[in-house]
Amino acid sequence: MNNTSLGNHILVEFMNCDPHIMNDVAGIERDMVAAAEKANATVINSTFHHFSPWGVSGVVVIQESHLAIHTWPEYGYAAVDLFTCGDMDAWISFDFLKEAFKSQSYSAIEMKRGSVNLLTRNDFDMSTMRQKASEWRNPEFFTRNVWFTDKDDFQALSLRFTGEVFFDVQSPFQRVRIIESYKYGKMLALDDMVMTTIEDEFHYHEMISHPALFTHGNAKNILVIGGGDGGTVREILRHEGVEKVTMVEIDGEVITACKEHLPQIAAAFDDPRLDLIVDDGIAFIKNAAPESYDLVIVDGSDPVGPAEGLFSVEFYTNCYNSLTKDGILVAQGESPKFNEKAFTELNHTLQDIFGTDKAPVSLFFVPTYPTGMWSFQYGIKGEKHPKHISNESEIDEFVDNKGLRYYNADVHKGSFATPNFVKTLLKK
């Protein structure tokens, strides 16, 4: 340690870095921990957050102080603080991170912190505190605290994950990843947004399929647009009366990832009633024959990237034309609390196409979606309306036989009861 100061602080700006590296929370956590260890620091803990769609913040707590970082992937930029005391040489960490981040340029300022000439040393008994600290900390282990964050400009949901990445592919359409959270198990993330997890996927997949199927009562031919994880077709194919399901998913990498790493969800891809097509669902429905499908389910992601076209007037007009006279449309409808604009615009679009009284909204809850509250929005072409069902006993028997965990007859009816604030949104 420098005799004139308590610590050494290096303020670093890494520029022209690889943007993919700058947006990889697990990789950055790994490199920051390694940078500390290269300089012979003793790592105590690490905490890292990923922000959607981009950006990572984190800190590695070391016995000698800390290493901290915040990244702006869109600029290829990272701001890094290396604060040390003792004999640790933080410039070793600097050299390691410069190479790890593939930085093409940088600036660094070294500062001495805690001038001993300005401070007065206090003497107090530390023996008990040191003993407790040594009992608590295992010098052979540090805790990892890596967080995945799905957010918009005003709110976010964060999940702590293990740091393990089982699948990470940049497809022509989006970044596809399978990572593992502590609370909800393995999960699928598309462009850094949570799509589904092992532990709560049944909330979504049961509610996107069974209410419409029991409302229709005799759906034979069904089209699913999107749904690459396989959960929606798994639930549809629980119904023995279904003769054919056509699933059109634009991104084959999603299917590959889920078949390999989420087999519990992707359990029905080998069903002979399924016609799996890797193609653009928007183009597919545009060319579909009139009155082809009893049920059309739009299982898309948020209205960005490849899913943006799934929220257009033209698309839903084509869906309407493809439905039989008693056909039903179900669409992933966003959250009235997280994406108010998309939620209301979609409903107004469906009202214009199907009719004011034939565009009901179903609300349900998914713990791993921001705000928890989510929606499916309907378009009813015929007279079979999901608010009015009379087959409760049939539903409950099906629920018991199939072991469903979210959907039942009461949930079916209750999901169409909209809170007052939602009613107000839909009238805007």
- pLDDT band at residue 1 using 50, 70 and 90 as cut-offs: very low
pLDDT tens digits, residue range 277-303?
Answer: 999 999 999 999 999 999 999 998 665
1-16: burial string, b at 16+ Cβ within 10 Å, e else: eeeebebbbbebebee
Reading the block at residue 361, the tokens are 């909204």
Read off the DSSP letter of residue 72: E
Cβ-Cβ contacts under 8 Å for 345 (sequence gap 6 or more): 311
| Domain 5-133+142-146: CATH class, spelled out | alpha beta
CATH of 201-427 among 3.30.420.40, 3.40.1280.30, 1.10.220.70, 3.40.50.150: 3.40.50.150
- pLDDT band at residue 129 using 50, 70 and 90 as cut-offs: low
311 vs 130, more confident = 311
Average pLDDT of the residues in 226-231: 97
Could you tell me the residue ranges of all domains in the chain?
5-133+142-146, 201-427
Paired sense of beta strands 323-332 and 373-380, if any = antiparallel
Q: For the chain, percent helix, then strand, then coil, each to nearest 5?
A: 35, 35, 35
Its pTM stands at 0.77
pLDDT score recorded for residue 114? 81
- pLDDT band at residue 245 using 50, 70 and 90 as cut-offs: very high
Average pLDDT of the residues in 171-176: 94
pLDDT tens digits, residue range 3-40?
Answer: 677 888 999 999 999 999 999 988 999 999 999 999 99
- For the annotated catalytic residues, the residue numbers are 299
394 vs 192, more confident = 394
